[in-house]
Amino acid sequence: MEKFIIRGGAPLCGTVSVSGAKNAALPCLAACLLTDEPVTLCRIPPLSDIFAMCDILSGLGCRISRPFADEFCIDASHLTACAVPYELAGRLRGSFLVLGPLLARHKKVSIAMPGGCAIGARPIDLHLKGFIAMGATVQNTNGCIEASCRQLHGATIYLDFPSVGATENIMSAAVLAQGETIIENAAAEPEIVDLANFLCRMGARITGAGTDTITIRGVERLHGARHTIIPDRIEAGTWLAAAVATGGDVTVTNIIPDYVKPMTAKLSEMNIPLTIGEDFIRTKPVSSFKAVDVKTLPYPGFPTDMQSQLSALLCLSDGISMITETIFENRFMHAGELCRMGASIKIAGRNAVIEGSKSLSGAKVKASDLRAGAALVIAALAAKGDTEISDIYHIDRGYVALDAKLRTLGASIKREPE
Ligand code: UD1
């Protein structure tokens, strides 16, 4: 186990390049199971969650090579297993994304219930309802989902909630189903569009990705392809929050600014000046900024994955902010830790009221999940004195070399064994 030791107070300054999106890379890696031809995925972020997914693919018989740090070649020509045990599936939520592709190609799959950040109950009923509508038989036996089918067929599937994972899983299965599948009330996140683009490169026929209705016309087989993963919009937003919190001047590069709009729109509402280019956003030093109310929503609403980081920033605002978390029921774990650092946050159910103050102070805190960990890093960078953040393995699941990138921007951050 490792911890970060951060000495706060230095304004971040310089240019930082954003890595590929973990949440786009995971479903694309899982979708490699759909073809017996080799696939190359570029701009894969080398993160622990990605390596956990690779272990799952290897366990199923895929051969994986890595000519460059962020380029992965996956050969799923000889699948030797159709079961994912608890030891592998429990390592990340994204493990469940292999169910759809395996069911479509192999017709039979057994997978232990997924793990992932402890931010809520995170059921999988919407995924399963989709597979059942497409003709699969699904059973939950001893903590494992066992699904099988003769041949998946097209169906019209209405999702009660626009779940990102369910949309990805069902879309990935439907590409090899017989006939047409329509996903209604589908998630519209950029990661869904990226997956659809990748599947289409492999020969799938998909329209409507990025809207609430996705139509998939099944094909007989998919072929190999090469695809570059989109940049991580949550990493981009995290850098913006960190830059503003420290009064810094940071250019965040290699991004798609449109995908970061829910965050940049909030920053503008907070009177924070930004320069937005074609593939970069630059912050300017500000001495104060306004409090705002924020409600997390499915895309293009404000992302739940940015809520903790924006909350950390709002602890330094002028005024009172109200945060409403509508996606996950347990996503205020950072609040107690931020209060140790001098923040004033009151939680009532799905709402958090943040009273902004001019300063935070260093303290010993613990990262409870990935984005909560990022929020603590932002607070620590802005705080007076030293902050020790433990359990940083959560942060390493979602940010490539966060500490090294921070040092290039002038931050004082050390990684030490706990
Ligand atoms: C993905 C992201 C995660 C992000 C989330 C919402 C990955 C690997 N993770 O998670 O970082 O926070 O989208 O943007 O891409 N739900 C059900 N039944 C289901 C599935 C979901 O009720 O079968 C509920 C969940 O409990 C939650 C809501 O739907 O309340 C959204 O979950 P979902 O969009 O599925 O999130 P994930 O795909 O797990």
Residue 23, ligand 1, Cβ within 6 A = yes
Distance from C-alpha of 336 to C-alpha of 257, rounded to nearest angstrom:
32
Question: Strands 320-324 and 294-295: what pairing?
Answer: parallel
- Looking at 270-417, list the stretches that DSSP marks H as alpha helix, in order from N- to C-terminal side: 304-314, 333-340, 370-382, 393-396, 402-408
Distance from C-alpha of 82 to C-alpha of 147, rounded to nearest angstrom:
10
- The encoded tokens of residue 275 equal 């320069």
Neighbours of 123 (CB within 10 A): 11
What single DSSP character describes residue 10? P
**Model pLDDT, residue 142:** 86
**Model pLDDT, residue 114:** 79
Largest CA distance in the chain: 63
Neighbours of 55 (CB within 10 A): 16
- The encoded tokens of residue 358 equal 């001019």
**Model pLDDT, residue 121:** 67
Q: Which atom of ligand 1 is nearest to the CA of 129?
A: 23
Distance from C-alpha of 74 to C-alpha of 278, rounded to nearest angstrom:
32
16 φ, ψ (degrees, to nearest 5)? -130, 135
Q: Which atom of ligand 1 is nearest to the CA of 26?
A: 8
Distance from C-alpha of 206 to C-alpha of 203, rounded to nearest angstrom:
9
Q: Which positions of the chain have pLDDT values less than 70?
A: 115-121
Distance 164 CA to ligand 1 centre (A): 6
Neighbours of 350 (CB within 10 A): 16
- Nearest CA to 244 among 262, 271, 276, 265? 271
**Model pLDDT, residue 120:** 62
**Model pLDDT, residue 117:** 59
Q: Are 285 and 11 in contact (CB under 8 A)?
A: yes
Residue 166, ligand 1, Cβ within 6 A = yes
Residue 94, ligand 1, Cβ within 6 A = yes
Residue 328, ligand 1, Cβ within 6 A = yes
Query: Cα angle vertex 337, ends 334, 343, to 5°?
Result: 95
Catalytic residues: 117
Distance 269 CA to ligand 1 centre (A): 27
Distance from C-alpha of 247 to C-alpha of 255, rounded to nearest angstrom:
21
> 324-370 pLDDT, tens per residue?
999 998 889 999 999 999 999 999 999 999 999 988 999 999 999 99
Q: Are 149 and 103 in contact (CB under 8 A)?
A: yes
Residue 308, ligand 1, Cβ within 6 A = no
Query: Cα angle vertex 400, ends 376, 114, to 5°?
Result: 80
Sheet hosting strand 344-348, strand order edge to edge: 294-295, 320-324, 351-355, 344-348
- Nearest CA to 246 among 356, 55, 377, 335? 377
- Looking at 352-413, list the stretches that DSSP marks H as alpha helix, in order from N- to C-terminal side: 370-382, 393-396, 402-408
Distance 369 CA to ligand 1 centre (A): 15
**Model pLDDT, residue 414:** 98
Q: Taking the CA of residue 300 as centre, how many other CA atoms within 13 Å lie in the half-sphere pointing to its CB?
A: 12
